Amino acid sequence: MAKDYYEILGLNKNASKDEIKKVFYKMAHKYHPDKKGGNEAKFKEMNEAYQVLSDDGKRSKYDQFGAGFENMGGFQGGQAPGWDFSGFSARGGQADGMEFDFGNLNDIFSDFFGGGMGGGRAQARRGRDISTEIQISFSDSVFGTERKVLITKTSKCASCGGSGAKDGTKMETCKHCNGQGKIREQKRTIFGNIASTKICEVCLGTGEVPKEACDKCKGKGVLRREEEISINIPAGIHDGEMVRMTGHGEAVSKGTAGDLYIKINVTVHPLFKREGNDLAMNLNLKLSDALLGTKYSVQTLDGDIEVTIPEGVTMNEILRVRGKGVPYGKGKRGDLLIKLHIKLPDKLSRKSREIIEELKKEGI
């Protein structure tokens, strides 16, 4: 059944736009779901009526087509045009092709349900996160290291320690908010007087201001400067990993600094590659050493060591040296994996050929 929008708002068809607006605001104040005794269904219905009757074009179509208006793709009753009651935020919307523009309702309901309500809780001030990147050696990525970087950013004033007060002077109670850190305001709206609380713009919520401002930062407590930061790079870090340093990002007055993110770029090693917590390397052997066995001096990240090559090793066989890999856990380390490559001679001497021929006869 078609709805009578005039009846819903208790108006006659000759009602002016001012009368429609006045009646709607009065009913909105009474039936809004957030009010004690409010009625969500009623509120949606009267809001639907107001969106049509407050717009000259839509009202003209409604007056012209009457009960047939809802069947012409223009509007269907019972659907609230763009209201989201989960947060009571007014937004423009559509209902089956008809657009709704809430106009100044955004301002009205943002005052009623937004910044003015909810106890005036202020969001904690926090500085911006920043990032940089550094290059480290393969060995430093395995064992960890400390690096220092110079970064130009907004930092806490070194002269006043972030208080904004001149050295030797004290803080005093903010006169603007009487030390409360918040300002309470009264606003006259169509719903009556609305009390709101906001953060004090003078002391930024602290309730204190410098008795005499710092000469360096002019009382802000922060200023843009070059700062040297020490970065502890943990053992076993991988190429491309990020180190996060809490509170080393951009600073803000009377708030918490953001974080600093450092991307670690690891230089490729000419000999070693990582395989999890193990280090892998290749070792080239002469054919005779592979057959007879021997000892080789092998480079590790801890220094050179001597490795025994058993006789009769095969191509691509892997020797494992315990505890020469990447540190992890509490006092643990991965292993060094040595992959053996047997180098065959490009050309045989007459004597070598004779020896091999004899081996061939013996089935070797």
74-89 pLDDT, tens digit each? 444 333 333 333 333 3
Model confidence over 201-223: pLDDT tens digits?
Answer: 888 888 888 888 898 888 888 99
What is the structure's pLDDT at 80? 36
Percent residues over pLDDT 70 in the chain: 81
CA dist 330 and 337 (Å) reads: 22
What is the structure's pLDDT at 364? 67
313 and 285 in contact (C-beta within 8 Å)? yes
Percent residues over pLDDT 90 in the chain: 38
Lowest mean pLDDT among 111-125, 172-186, 311-325: 111-125
Does residue 33 or residue 138 have the better pLDDT? 138
Does residue 186 or residue 115 have the better pLDDT? 186
Mean pLDDT of the 162-177 span = 86
Does residue 296 or residue 40 have the better pLDDT? 296
Q: Burial of 364 by CB count in 10 Å (0-12 exposed, 13-18 middle, 19+ buried)?
A: exposed
Binding residues: 157, 160, 174, 177, 200, 203, 214, 217
Lowest mean pLDDT among 20-29, 86-95, 264-273: 86-95
Mean pLDDT of the 57-81 span = 57
What is the structure's pLDDT at 74? 40
Q: Spell out the residues 6+ positions from residue 345 whose beta carbon is closer than 8 angstroms to its own.
A: 287, 352
Residue 192 has pLDDT above 80, yes or no: no
List every span in the chain annotated with CATH 2.60.260.20. Answer: 130-266, 273-361
What is the structure's pLDDT at 121? 45
Take residue 316 and report the two structure tokens written for it: 């691509």
254 and 171 in contact (C-beta within 8 Å)? no
Q: In the CATH scheme, what is the code of domain 130-266?
A: 2.60.260.20
Chain position carrying tokens 């191509």: 315
Strands in 161-317 per DSSP E: 171-173, 182-189, 192-199, 208-210, 222-233, 242-245, 260-266, 273-275, 278-286, 294-300, 303-309
What is the structure's pLDDT at 76? 40
Q: Quick one: CATH architecture of 273-361?
A: Sandwich (2.60)
List every span in the chain annotated with CATH 1.10.287.110. Answer: 5-114
Binding residues for Zn(2+): 157, 160, 174, 177, 200, 203, 214, 217
What is the structure's pLDDT at 2? 60
CA dist 196 and 204 (Å) reads: 17
CA dist 44 and 222 (Å) reads: 50
Instruction: Please report, for residues 4, 54, 161, 249, the alpha-carbon distance to residue 254 in angstroms, rounded to integers and kept in the order given.
Output: 56, 47, 11, 15
> To which CATH superfamily is domain 5-114 assigned?
DnaJ domain (1.10.287.110)
Give one word for 346, left, alpha or beta, with left for phi > 0 and alpha for psi -120 to 50.
alpha
Instruction: Report the mean per-residue pLDDT for the chain.
Output: 81
38 and 31 in contact (C-beta within 8 Å)? yes
What is the structure's pLDDT at 129? 94
What is the structure's pLDDT at 24? 84
Residue 345 has pLDDT above 70, yes or no: yes
Coil, strand or helix at 44 = helix
What is the structure's pLDDT at 92? 40
Model confidence over 103-130: pLDDT tens digits?
Answer: 444 444 444 444 443 344 445 678 999 9
Residue 145 has pLDDT above 70, yes or no: yes
What is the structure's pLDDT at 69? 53
What is the structure's pLDDT at 90? 37
What is the structure's pLDDT at 153? 94
Mean pLDDT of the 306-318 span = 94
Model confidence over 230-276: pLDDT tens digits?
Answer: 999 999 999 999 999 999 999 998 888 999 999 999 999 999 999 99
Residue 67 has pLDDT above 70, yes or no: no
